[in-house]
Amino acid sequence: MKKSVVRKMAKEYIKEGKNHQETFDAVYAEIKEQPETIAKIVRYVPTLEKRWKYKNWRAALIIILIVATFLQLLGGLLLSLDRGAQFLPIILLAPAIKIILVYGIVNHRSDYYKASAFLGLIGVVRALPELSSNFPDPWLLINLSIVAISIGISFYLHTKMVATYEVVKEKYTNAEGKPKLRNVIKLAD
């Protein structure tokens, strides 16, 4: 079972207007293997209702990431003009990662919200020593403010767009008429 196949199937069922539980049930009915793996994939495909409800937050995050990318490119190019082109590949790495994040968020990949927040936190931690040595540097304060806002929105969207799931024990009667327990996956929107 390929994750990309499960994700593609889940996206199709979500486009039909199904919620996470209905989508999981439909995908599991077709594949009939590894229910917990299917649940882990389906939970990251946002429902149409969630897409609509949080579209403004998502758009704000996309705009913030694009602005941050532009500012990093501008700062990187100015730095490479000052110090030479040998640093250019390293300087272009962070904007390239942000472009990948924007692409994932535009394509409704909810797992990219956590990645965006995590990479933002790494950037803030990395910039803290520079902040203490160059405190009233407006460029650094603007950059950190943008990153802090993107971290907050990313965590918020991750908690709202990603469904939770649990494995519960359910009683049933088998073909021989004996009571048994089985694991059932319940996804909550």
Where are the alpha helices (H) located in the chain, listed in sequence order? 3-15, 20-31, 35-42, 48-53, 55-83, 88-91, 93-106, 111-133, 138-161
The token pair at 148 is 């802090």
Reported as a pLDDT band with limits 50, 70 and 90, residue 172 is: confident
pLDDT in tens, 83-102: 777 777 777 888 899 999 99
pLDDT in tens, 11-42: 999 999 999 999 999 999 998 888 899 999 99
Torsion sign across C-alpha atoms 20, 22, 26, 32: positive
- Count CB atoms within 10 A of the CB of residue 139: 12
Q: Residue 75's pLDDT is what?
A: 79
Reported as a pLDDT band with limits 50, 70 and 90, residue 135 is: low
Q: How far is CA 115 from CA 19, 42, 154, in A?
A: 24, 18, 8
pLDDT in tens, 56-83: 999 999 999 999 899 888 877 887 787 7
Angstrom distance (rounded) from CA 104 to CA 115: 10
Q: Is 17 left (phi over 0), alpha (psi -120 to 50) or beta?
A: left
Asked if residue 41 lies in contact with residue 111, where contact means CB atoms within 8 angstroms, the answer is: no
Q: Residue 74's pLDDT is what?
A: 86
